[in-house]
């Protein structure tokens, strides 16, 4: 039984074109338990994804698709099947080619003026197995479409080849020697060849998913009651202890409790360098343990692991439909009926001008065969699957097609400072005391407030206090003041620690702050101020330095080269923010920002530079990320803020922002190229066939080639590399 609100993925076999996609979607939306708005069917991956409004059985879903003429199978979220694994029908191509070759070979001497024709009955004997055995699926799928008053590519092929086959029988019985058995057989052979090549190409679009799935080991060495045993990975539970030997893949997310080693996380983060891991360090399932024996306590297994979430995110992005695809679907839904009408008009037109039944039928067959909704249906999903797949292999996780669509149009990128452009590991550089207390006393008070905070400056205070063996005092009524600092009661008196904005709200004068903090120092470092009492009086301040990441300057340059404005938005003071912006040559600086004011500032930027992207940590910058048109969450690879942003960068490299925009632009360029050629192919091919300029065999070859060329063009994205 499938639960309500559960997301379901079905493998759907038998889809051949965009019209099939529409039929599958319609069939699923007709089921009461299915959330109609969530249905997404992908021709390239042969999968349907949707959510349930209420509980139901998988049999009911599969039965509904079976009635629509398609075979379906429920996919396990942890072990999804590979794309097109049931499409390995190369043997049909070989057999069809062997039977068709004798029909085509006699045509070669005709090029040199020699007449050589096979006996009509021999032609019939060779063509019949191709028509009714090897092409049986075409008739089956065509009949399923007709029964439901719809059409698909198989219907066009079945009608066209049957007409050529039937015309050949009629002419043979009438004593004619010039027959069209070779046309029907060759068309079917070419369509089978095209679909086989298409299936092979489609499998390559899912290699990123398959590579991620391959990171899951089949077994794990679990330690239970001091006994080490090899068990299937499915039996691993949260808090289980397991051992990883050198060269093995880590079975699940966890924390090292014994041993140390270098770990290769390149398949998850795109980072080529190995990382040294020690006791209490986190490790991610799927990474490779290189050189040491480690013992790990599992913190997340199965569908909750980082690897499972990454796979789920990539699959979601590949199955989602951008706005441009919805337009294509509307065109495809009426495409087949329109082609049938054009073929009938072609037949009638040639009969009207007195060309005779033979010429009229052959030209109508050419119209039916040349039309190819397959290329239209594959143009968008093939490019999206290839683009998001190659991005994932370099640590760029794109949540959905809408994020990809927004990213390629970005006009401005807003960066948070700490942890995004800087290392995010500020160090305490100086302590300035306003009264007679010592620097250690001021640091002790700051430590008392900051010890439970996760802010980067708080961690710097904590590390400095521990290094000097300073103990924290009990802090009561601790309160966080969003975007400004902290307040608490320490030894019976109120204390505040925070930024310049917080001090101004306590009515401390600019002159008092300036007297304590020299201008030259305030321009060099971030500053945290400490005040106490009612009314508040200034106790002192501390300065912090945070190194700029090595790749930040290049990341900003790359964006500017792409004609994208760069903005630094931070809660830090104006002087410190301007210093970083100057070093990185960022276009605009917005300092002294609170979480709420960041959101308002982003809204102002969108007025002049829409769409605007925001790059932050995915948690502290939540209001700003929500206000941006497309948001980026920087991640270390294990603590992944996957639900906080549209795009997650698996390693904290700001250069991946420009890389993401680049791959999104290239992906949409491929989509436009594919759609252009798909439409132009039909717009040119159908009139040529209708006016008798295309032989049915040439039309069949061109039709088969169109789908393969669309997918092959999309696969060129697999050569993309960040920064290239």
pLDDT at 76 over 70: no
Residue 254 to residue 366: CA distance in whole angstroms: 61
Percentage of the chain with pLDDT > 90?
Answer: 28
Phi, psi dihedral angles at 271 (to 5 degrees): -85, 120
**Residue 131: DSSP 8-state:** I
Percentage of the chain with pLDDT > 70?
Answer: 92
pLDDT at 77 over 60: no
Per-residue pLDDT, 114:
66
Residue (of 164, 172, 575) closest to 369 by Cα position: 164
Per-residue pLDDT, 518:
61
Range 395-421+548-661 classified under CATH 3.40.50.1000: yes
Q: Is 593 left (phi over 0), alpha (psi -120 to 50) or beta?
A: beta
User: Active-site residue among 154, 240, 253, 416?
Assistant: 416
CATH number, span 237-300:
2.70.150.10
Model pLDDT for residues 350-394, shown as the tens digit of each residue: 999 998 899 999 999 989 888 866 777 788 888 888 898 899 888
Residue 457 three-state SS: helix
* Per-domain boundaries in the chain: 7-74, 237-300, 395-421+548-661, 427-545
Q: Which residue has the higher pLDDT, 597 or 162?
A: 162
**Cβ burial 662-691 (10 Å sphere, 16+ → b, else e):** bbbbbbbebbebbbebbeebbeebbebbbe
Q: Which residue has the higher pLDDT, 424 or 562?
A: 562
Q: Which residue has the higher pLDDT, 456 or 73?
A: 73
Average per-residue pLDDT for the chain: 84
CATH H-level superfamily of 427-545: Calcium-transporting ATPase, cytoplasmic domain N (3.40.1110.10)
pLDDT at 90 over 90: no
What average pLDDT score do residues 531-560 get? 90
Residue 389 to residue 525: CA distance in whole angstroms: 41
Residue pair 659/394 in contact by the 8 Å Cβ criterion: yes
Residue 260 to residue 291: CA distance in whole angstroms: 9
Model pLDDT for residues 163-215, shown as the tens digit of each residue: 889 988 988 888 877 788 888 888 888 888 877 877 777 777 677 677 777 88
pLDDT at 503 over 80: yes
Per-residue pLDDT, 84:
43
Distances (CA, A) of 370 to 90, 225, 688: 23, 68, 9
pLDDT at 413 over 90: yes
Q: How far is CA 222 from the centre of its chain?
A: 33
Structure tokens at 479: 């309160």
Model pLDDT for residues 119-150, shown as the tens digit of each residue: 889 999 999 999 999 999 889 888 888 887 77
Residue 486 three-state SS: strand
Structure tokens at 437: 């207390």
pLDDT band at 115 (very low <50, low <70, confident <90, very high): low
Is 416 one of the annotated active-site residues of the chain? yes
Residue (of 335, 358, 412, 419) closest to 156 by Cα position: 335
What topology is assigned to 7-74 in CATH? Alpha-Beta Plaits (3.30.70)
Q: Which residue has the higher pLDDT, 323 or 54?
A: 54
Q: Which residue has the higher pLDDT, 643 or 84?
A: 643
pLDDT at 544 over 80: yes
pLDDT at 493 over 60: yes
The structure tokens 């139901």 sit at: 56
pLDDT at 316 over 80: no
Residue ranges with strand state E in 308-400: 396-398
Q: How far is CA 451 from the centre of its chain?
A: 39
Per-residue pLDDT, 172:
84
Per-residue pLDDT, 136:
92
Lowest mean pLDDT among 70-84, 303-317, 407-421: 70-84
pLDDT at 318 over 90: no
Model pLDDT for residues 249-262, shown as the tens digit of each residue: 999 999 999 999 99
Residue pair 228/243 in contact by the 8 Å Cβ criterion: yes
pLDDT band at 86 (very low <50, low <70, confident <90, very high): very low
Residue 596 to residue 369: CA distance in whole angstroms: 60
Is the model's pTM score more than 0.85? no
Residue 248 to residue 328: CA distance in whole angstroms: 46
pLDDT at 13 over 70: yes
Render 490-531 in DSSP notation, one character per residue.
ETTEEEEEE-HHHHHHTT--HHHHHHHS-HHHHTTSEEEEEE
The structure tokens 């009651």 sit at: 225
Residue 86, class by beta-carbon neighbours within 10 Å (0-12 exposed, 13-18 middle, 19+ buried)?
A: middle
**Residue 615 preceded by cis peptide, ω within 30:** no
């Amino acid at each position: 039984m499938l639960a309500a609100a559960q997301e379901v993925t079905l493998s759907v076999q038998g889809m051949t074109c965009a019209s099939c996609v529409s039929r599958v979607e319609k069939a699923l939306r007709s089921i009461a338990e299915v959330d109609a708005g969530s249905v997404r069917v992908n021709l390239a991956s042969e999968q349907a994804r949707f959510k349930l409004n209420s509980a139901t059985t998988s049999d009911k879903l599969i039965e509904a698709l079976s009635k629509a003429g398609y075979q379906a199978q429920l996919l396990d979220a942890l072990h999804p099947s590979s794309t097109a694994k049931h499409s390995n029908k190369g043997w049909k191509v070989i057999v069809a080619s062997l039977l068709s070759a004798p029909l085509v070979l006699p045509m070669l001497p005709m090029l040199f003026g020699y007449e050589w024709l096979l006996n009509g009955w021999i032609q019939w004997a060779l063509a019949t197995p191709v028509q009714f055995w090897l092409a049986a699926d075409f008739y089956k799928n065509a009949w399923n479409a007709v029964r439901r008053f719809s059409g698909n590519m198989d219907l066009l092929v079945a009608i066209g080849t049957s007409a050529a086959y039937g015309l050949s029988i009629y002419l043979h019985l009438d004593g004619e020697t010039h027959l069209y058995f070779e046309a029907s057989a060759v068309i079917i052979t070419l369509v089978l060849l095209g679909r086989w090549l298409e299936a092979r190409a489609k499998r390559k679009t899912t290699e990123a998913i398959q590579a991620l799935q391959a990171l899951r080991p089949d077994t794990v060495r679990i330690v239970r009651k001091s006994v080490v045993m090899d068990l299937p990975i499915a039996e691993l539970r949260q808090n289980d202890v397991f051992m990883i030997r050198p060269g093995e893949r880590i079975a699940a997310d966890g924390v090292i409790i014994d041993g140390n080693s270098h770990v290769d996380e390149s398949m998850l983060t795109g980072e080529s360098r190995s990382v040294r891991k020690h006791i209490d360090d986190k490790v991610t399932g799927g990474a490779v343990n290189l050189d040491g024996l480690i013992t790990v306590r599992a913190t997340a297994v199965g569908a909750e692991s980082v690897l499972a979430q990454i796979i789920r995110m990539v699959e979601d992005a590949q199955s989602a439909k951008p706005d441009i695809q919805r337009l294509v679907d509307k065109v495809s839904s009426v495409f087949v009926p329109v082609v049938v009408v054009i073929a009938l008009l072609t037949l009638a037109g040639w009969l009207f001008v007195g060309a005779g039944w033979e010429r009229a039928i052959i030209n109508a067959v050419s119209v039916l065969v040349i039309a190819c909704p397959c290329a239209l249906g594959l143009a968008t999903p093939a490019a999206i699957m290839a683009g998001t797949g190659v991005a994932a292999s370099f640590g760029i996780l794109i949540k959905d097609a809408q994020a990809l669509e927004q990213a390629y149009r970005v006009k401005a990128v807003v960066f948070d400072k700490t942890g995004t452009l800087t290392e995010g590991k500020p160090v305490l550089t100086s302590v300035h005391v306003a009264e007679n207390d010592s620097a250690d006393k001021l640091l002790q008070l700051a430590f008392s407030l900051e010890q439970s905070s996760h802010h980067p400056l708080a961690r710097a205070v904590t590390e400095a206090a521990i290094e000097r063996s300073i103990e924290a005092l009990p802090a009561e009524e601790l309160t966080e003041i969003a975007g400004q600092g902290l307040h608490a009661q320490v030894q019976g008196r109120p204390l505040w620690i925070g930024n310049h904005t917080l001090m101004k709200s306590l009515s401390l004068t600019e002159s008092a702050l300036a007297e304590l903090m020299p201008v030259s120092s305030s321009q060099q470092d971030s500053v945290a101020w400490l005040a106490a009492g009612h009314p508040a009086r200034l106790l002192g301040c501390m300065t912090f330095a945070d190194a700029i990441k090595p790749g930040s300057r290049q990341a900003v340059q790359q964006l500017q080269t792409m004609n994208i404005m760069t903005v630094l938005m931070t809660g830090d003071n104006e002087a410190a923010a301007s210093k970083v912006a100057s070093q990185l040559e960022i276009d605009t600086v917005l300092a002294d920002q609170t979480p709420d004011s960041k959101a308002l500032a982003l809204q102002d930027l969108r007025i002049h530079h829409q769409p605007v992207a925001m790059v932050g940590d995915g948690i502290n910058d939540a209001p700003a990320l929500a206000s941006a048109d497309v948001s980026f969450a920087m991640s270390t690879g294990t603590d992944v803020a996957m639900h906080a942003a549209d795009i997650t960068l698996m390693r904290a490299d700001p250069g991946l922002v420009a890389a993401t925009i680049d791959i999104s632009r290239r992906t949409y360029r491929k989509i436009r190229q594919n759609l252009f050629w798909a439409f132009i192919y039909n717009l040119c091919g159908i009139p040529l066939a209708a006016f008798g300029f295309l032989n049915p065999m040439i039309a069949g070859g061109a039709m088969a080639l169109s789908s393969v060329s669309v997918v092959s063009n999309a696969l060129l994205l697999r050569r993309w590399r960040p920064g290239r």
